[in-house]
Amino acid sequence: MSVQLVSHHLLLCATPTKAKCCDPNTGLATWNELKRLIKELGLENSDRPEGVVLRSKVDCLRICDKGPILVVWPDGIWYTDVTTEKIEAIIHQHIIHHKPVHDWIYKTTSFQLF
């Protein structure tokens, strides 16, 4: 098995155990739409020159408000209120065209691996 190049890793707080950030039904619908879009747009294809787009459903990103929350790695961009309607725009504009949706950004952070 070879190591794949990763262009982005999308972390979505979608179905939190304590459900403080969002309604679990909204989170699950957003998660299902994210999975559908990544597959439909071929973003998980290992032949993409820029690398695959990974997705992970996480329990909690410790915001506890305005969820579902989406973190885009390595860009360090946190989106709030990510609904099924917003996720498609984020995928197309931010992930594919490399132009974050500034009106929906909650905060930005830098990620350091070491």
* Residue 83 counted as domain residue: yes
**CA nearest 69: which of 40, 105, 97?**
105
* Residue 61 counted as domain residue: yes
pTM for this one?
Answer: 0.88
* Residue 1 counted as domain residue: no
CA angle 87, 88, 93 (to 5 degrees): 100
Average pLDDT over residues 13-27: 79
* Residue 114 counted as domain residue: no
The domain spanning residue 80 has which CATH number? 3.40.30.10
Q: Per residue in 21-75, pLDDT tens?
A: 778 888 899 999 999 999 999 999 988 888 999 999 988 777 777 889 999 999 9
Instruction: Please give the tally of structural domains in the chain.
Output: 1
Asked if the bond preceding 74 is cis, omega within 30° of 0, the reply is: yes
* Residue 113 counted as domain residue: no
Per the structure, the complete domain to which residue 62 belongs is given by: 6-108
Token digits of residue 98? 């490399």
